[in-house]
Structure 1
């Protein structure tokens, strides 16, 4: 059976669920057998914890390992809870060292020592060294399974080293070139090795090396790897000695993780870190309730502003009709600016020290947007109500857009400067600021124009 469309996958899951309910393991095995590894992974992501544990035990050892390696780390941790110690130890030992770190960062702290105890001594020592790096740094995401060469080796000697370690190395497409003290002095690609004369010296064909320190942020190293178009990035210690290689597949994985995290937090929720359909409802509630409470508290400021200008609203009740429009426009303008600058921060286009340049650009952008929207607001409100009401709406849109864009552009830079996630800090603050400040601007302009 091949799954080509979503309804096919749904049908397979319905069959699996029914087989599990009927405890018909023979039929269940027949349903699972034709499925490829990607199809099994997609199926696992849509089943419950106990269902996954039962299905996993019906797979052959090789297929089970292949499926396990492709699962998100959070689901790997869930699955380990439902397996016996011997199965857990075997699966963990079969993982690549960098994949083990992903898993150890997800499982409960009480489970981590049990996983490490099941490793051979050499692998356990290697894992301990990687765990010695702080969370979030590239030292926990690099692989120590690589092939290196020396600048005074020949191409033939280097190719022999590649063949010798081909089965155990995670990457052989980029080889770091070392000197006598293990410092990285260059890199050489497998393509260049295969195209060179075997008697040629590595020093003659190697290229300058781009490196990252093991204590650098993993996202920084991932973006560096992607921006430079590298298949692998040598990771060094503070003395430029090689300690591992950071591969492009891990870089892409980190960037996808960071993009998902930023998108979730800009929407006012915590990232799930697992597929949606395999996430418990209680976890969904916890991921959303905190920001809803924060925004609800911020909304009380809007109520206070409205109560302070209650007399103004009583004199010109039509002003109340435009409150949602002005708040919504200001909030959208601020969030657009914050999203743009947050993205620029992530790509390294701007730094916190560029705040004055960003403020200048966003102020001009906000004024331009405000002029366009304000002119439209003046025309519509002026025709429907009166020219003075149109003038109030037009001037308010101009002022609110300029203020919201300026604050929205500055907030991610301020957040980065105080070491807070810009995606977490920016949008809730902007929503609260625009709701309260925008109303104050609105009613002050109305009082001045309408002589209230």
Structure 2
């Protein structure tokens, strides 16, 4: 670990030194070769584009490709713009068609077109096929290079076929079985093929395939892929003809990207397109400022509610002391419910048609939470400020927790119903809504109990 850290510091020092002479580049190459791939990916991701390009140039082809494939598509595009060397053509040609399509999405059209013309005819055709699907369709993430089997093959013939064509396809662990028009008949796992009787026919040992249509939403397919614990999934067109295969690394990448997006939006920000340390300051600000402005405007509701009940606060000043506690409790309760339901939606545990069940469930959860917190509030506030204030606190906590839990469970389902991102409707908006509504509940109960 110490040796690696020392080498990283040496590489950083060489990258920062300018201009780079031949001796320094040679030394940089030696130091870079001593680093693990993970450290190289980190350095390329987090350094300015000029330094990242210099580091990338001193890597050998195999290691450069490994590092390049590990980078997110926006960072790959920036690196290509900084390189502008024949090395770029080699990198593009060695990428899988689905990864190449993601990269081309991030490049200027003229650059993408020039790189596309540099591909051979087969690679260009496969890349064009992937690019033909909508941005969030699973077809954009499949590999069109698929090793297929015929149901009439014997196991011996199938194994020979796999050995002869194992180099090109992205995976050979799951082998689709197709008819003469590429209609998907089933799949055979490589292990099943290896242990089967060599005289058996592939059609006899094949089993039905868990598959998806190329135009299906990528997140839904990736969630289904993960739930079924697959290594690969055939992708078909609208007529059940095989057009590609989705591999586990692509499914994991989709889920990671979706989770990153949901996490950012749940916290009231837009996801960053690249690593945090290499994102320009103004881009980070832009990802946050919109939501802060929206929340600031919506928070005016809370101020207006306080203004309406200003005379009540003048009569019983002690009520002001509990406002942060009540608004915080309501916001946290709503956020907990929203986060739970949003995740349940994402993994398919809950659907829009389950809305009544979710509301009924969150009603009960909210009431139980309210009873527990209300009892504690009555005990503490009652001992310090009297029974009347304790009663106000206990009833308010019961009401706020119930209301916030219902709203928190309801919002993601409403968002899903109208076609919006459930994460956007979650924590920031729920906190603001619960703040304003909670204050109305608080002062209404206080007015009734205290006779204000």
- Structures share fold, TM-score greater than 0.5: yes
Is the deviation greater in 332-341 or in 49-58?
Answer: 49-58
1:278 counterpart SS class = coil
2: CA distance, partners of 1:19 / 1:32:
15
The CA deviation at 1:75 is 1.2
Change (3 A) 1:12 1:389: farther
2: CA distance, partners of 1:4 / 1:379:
59
Change (3 A) 1:111 1:443: farther
Q: Counterpart in 1 of 2:242?
A: 242
1: CA distance, partners of 2:110 / 2:322:
56
Is structure 2 residue 262 aligned with structure 1 residue 262?
yes
Confirm or deny: 8 A CA contact 1:333 1:404 kept in the other structure: yes
Is the deviation greater in 399-408 or in 14-23?
Answer: 14-23
Q: Counterpart in 1 of 2:363?
A: 363
2: CA distance, partners of 1:397 / 1:108:
55
Over the aligned positions, Cα root-mean-square deviation in angstroms equals: 1.7
Change (3 A) 1:10 1:56: closer
2: CA distance, partners of 1:92 / 1:336:
44
The CA deviation at 1:8 is 5.1
Change (3 A) 1:14 1:130: closer
Q: Counterpart in 2 of 1:15?
A: 13
Q: Counterpart in 2 of 1:298?
A: 298
Q: Counterpart in 1 of 2:403?
A: 403
Q: How does 1:100-249 map to 2 (within 5 A)?
A: 100-249=100-249
Confirm or deny: 8 A CA contact 1:3 1:39 kept in the other structure: no
The CA deviation at 1:340 is 0.3
The CA deviation at 1:153 is 1.1
Confirm or deny: 8 A CA contact 1:46 1:277 kept in the other structure: yes
Confirm or deny: 8 A CA contact 2:8 2:35 kept in the other structure: no
**TM-score normalised to the size of structure 1?**
0.96
Is the deviation greater in 93-102 or in 18-27?
Answer: 18-27
1:425 counterpart SS class = coil
2:246 counterpart SS class = strand
The CA deviation at 1:109 is 4.3
Q: Counterpart in 1 of 2:320?
A: 320
Confirm or deny: 8 A CA contact 1:20 1:28 kept in the other structure: no
The CA deviation at 1:22 is 6.6
Task: Give the gaps of 5 or more residues in structure 2.
Answer: none
Q: How does 1:77-116 map to 2 (within 5 A)?
A: 77-84=77-84, 86-116=86-116
Task: Give the gaps of 5 or more residues in structure 1.
Answer: none
1: CA distance, partners of 2:392 / 2:110:
62
1:35-67 per-position Cα deviation (integer Å, ceiling 9, x unaligned)? 232221122122111100111112222322221
1: CA distance, partners of 2:408 / 2:30:
56
1:132-188 per-position Cα deviation (integer Å, ceiling 9, x unaligned)? 111111100000112111111111111122112111111000001112332111110
Confirm or deny: 8 A CA contact 2:363 2:406 kept in the other structure: yes
Matched residues, number: 450
2: CA distance, partners of 1:10 / 1:54:
15
Confirm or deny: 8 A CA contact 1:144 1:245 kept in the other structure: yes
Q: Counterpart in 2 of 1:33?
A: 33
Change (3 A) 1:58 1:10: closer
2: CA distance, partners of 1:77 / 1:273:
12
Is the deviation greater in 29-38 or in 167-176?
Answer: 29-38
